[in-house]
Structure 1
């Protein structure tokens, strides 16, 4: 197990949904690779000309009328992937994200542990 895996407290689930990064009036459609209660990993769009000193909004479209929207900060950038940590998420988006993660985690005790950790931060 790598050092990075040891530090991860929130399980990531593989998930594919139409996703967009926004920063001011700029928009980047991205491929969602995975997400957790605390962040998401996406393919790096081309061109990638964002202001890395500013936060982003990530919008994950689960359905025509259902979406998860969170304010995120870029935490790591690779040649083909971008990793973001969630700074803020509204109650409705958190409810959708919670349900999505819950459906994809086989262990309900793991879900409760992650929620406790998220609340305690």
Structure 2
């Protein structure tokens, strides 16, 4: 990643591996989640990728066997040969609670977590 990308990044990415699906209408792709933040996610491009890039997606990240999950409406923001980056457009309160806890557990600095939440609210 270049320095300018680091300067622009306002949300810490958390390396995270969990069963994840990306859906668009009737189509769903099981995907490998690379990282997640309060503002989006990065996945490996699925082998059978044939999505309508003009339409939004729903990402579902399964956190455990107790059916806890993070669901978010996302849009494709950047596409690389092996990775796809998505911006979160909408997340419900239950999913946000799970995501907040996940990020909080992975950030060593509680001050950083508060800064990210303020930034999310201001965006």
| C-alpha displacement of 1:114 | 0.1
Distance 2:87 2:49 in 1: 18
Aligned residue number for residue 9 of structure 2: 8
1:40-94 Cα deviation digits (max 9, x unpaired): 0000001110000000000000012100000000000000000000000000000
Aligned residue number for residue 33 of structure 1: 34
SS of equivalent to 2:96? helix
TM-score, normalised to structure 2, is 0.97
1:7-31 Cα deviation digits (max 9, x unpaired): 0000001000000000000000000
1:73 to 57, 72, 75: 75
TM-score, normalised to structure 1, is 0.98
Q: Which runs of 5+ in 1 are unaligned?
A: none
Matches within 5 A, 1:54-93: 54-64=55-65, 65-93=67-95
How many aligned residue pairs are there? 121
Q: Which runs of 5+ in 2 are unaligned?
A: none
| C-alpha displacement of 1:2 | 1.9
Matched, 1:97 2:102: no
Tell me which stretches of 4 or more aligned residues in structure 1 moved more than 3 Å: none
Aligned residue number for residue 112 of structure 2: 110
Distance 2:79 2:7 in 1: 20
**What CA RMSD, in Å, does the superposition of the two structures yield over aligned residues?**
0.7
